[in-house]
Amino acid sequence: MDIIDDLKYRGLINQVSDEEGLREALKKPITFYCGFDPTANSLHAGNLLMIVIMMRLQKAGHHPIALVGGGTGMIGDPSGRSTERQLNTKEVVEGYAESLKNQLDRFLHFDQGNATFVNNAEWLNSLSAIEFLRDVGKYFTLNYMLSKDSVQTRLEAGISFTEFSYMLLQAYDYLNLYELKNCRMQMGGSDQWGNITAGLELIRKRGHEEQAFALTFPLITKSDGTKFGKSMGGAIWLDSEKTTPYEWYQFWYNASDDDVINFLKYFTFLSKSEIEALANEVESHPEARKAQKTLAREMTVLVHGEAALKQAEHISQALFSGDISQLNGEEIRQGFKDVPTYQASSKDSVKLIDLIVEAGIVPSKRQAREDITNGAIYVNGSRRNDLDEVLTQNDRIDNEYMVIRRGKKKYTLIQF
């Protein structure tokens, strides 16, 4: 199937300005772009959909331009927001833009000739207000701008002229890339349709004859109505320091049966036949979670690599079996990132009964004695029921960590 049919099969086309025209244009390599606003120093799971679609088009022979909005990021896009965005300083935006460039390079490989990185600060920061009003603003009526969803949804609560002008700046980005790099398609989430089509309007009104295109994909929601890309701890980031590879693996592994096949279509490069086989597994053997395991593996390799996948699977297996002692220090840091942590003294030995009281694992020595006697206390996955037990450096993992479990699920990380 061609790239449009593949995107349709995967549910990745929401709107397209001229489907037949785009199909014809895509018979030869074209240049296209997608924008990312630098609002943080890392992209997140929601942004990954845009990256993967860019990679699909790249694999089909087309030329992606990844645009980071170092200029527009100084203003803020009103799309999908109910309130004004908090503005960052120029230095913060520049730092975020550089971080995003490095992340995008891991997927699109800018130094290999087929993909290009641009920062719209290159042309927007030197654009004067008079130039902007004459060369861009005069081509748009207020009625046209007010008709866009991104503006209409903000009218009642109020929208500043700053955010109101964002649409025109994005339109200018498209015109600039069209003229300088022969970029003929802009893609983005469905909430970007108004901004993208404003670019088409500007290209047309500036007298360009070669057709340009707009393509959007649907914004992802989970079957239970919760927002995609969020967990109990907040956003799921591509940066391994913000979201560890283990957390990333678990995010995908915990996809529901109702979501997992759609996620396989959206985010992986598995073929239609491979995805359909996994859909049959969900129907016939849901308890095996084969589709979820495949999704978690594919996504972890894509974002963090093979070594990180092996580490994430090792942590998962150890936590499932309860044998914590097989983990190393780095795996402990990942697997127990969000559990309560107690900073213990570095002395060579400590009585178990004293440690679990000091760490707040039990409220009193009486309760400690009762729990140890009843076999409810585990150290690194091993049950300890000796009231006189003394823990030494031999009980520490990498001489730094000890994991104490009370009952079935209450974990505490002891750090020395």
Residue numbering of the annotated binding site: 33, 166, 170, 230
Residue ranges at the known binding site for L-tyrosine: 33, 166, 170
Q: Comparing C-alpha atoms, which of 154, 34, 40 is closest to residue 86?
A: 40
Contact 316, 250 (CB under 8 A): yes
Phi and psi at 210, nearest 5°, equal -70, 130
Q: Which residues pair with 234 in a beta bridge?
A: 231
Residue ranges at the known binding site for ATP: 230
Eight-class DSSP state of 221:
B
The full DSSP string for 115-136 is -EEEETHHHHTT--HHHHHHHT
CA 140, CA 202: separation in Å to the nearest integer? 8
Q: Comparing C-alpha atoms, which of 76, 124, 79, 112 is closest to residue 96?
A: 76
Angle between helices 306-321 and 290-304 (to 10 degrees): 140
Q: Comparing C-alpha atoms, which of 301, 302, 321 is closest to residue 312?
A: 301
Tokens of 230: 């969020």
Longest CA–CA separation in the chain, Å: 87
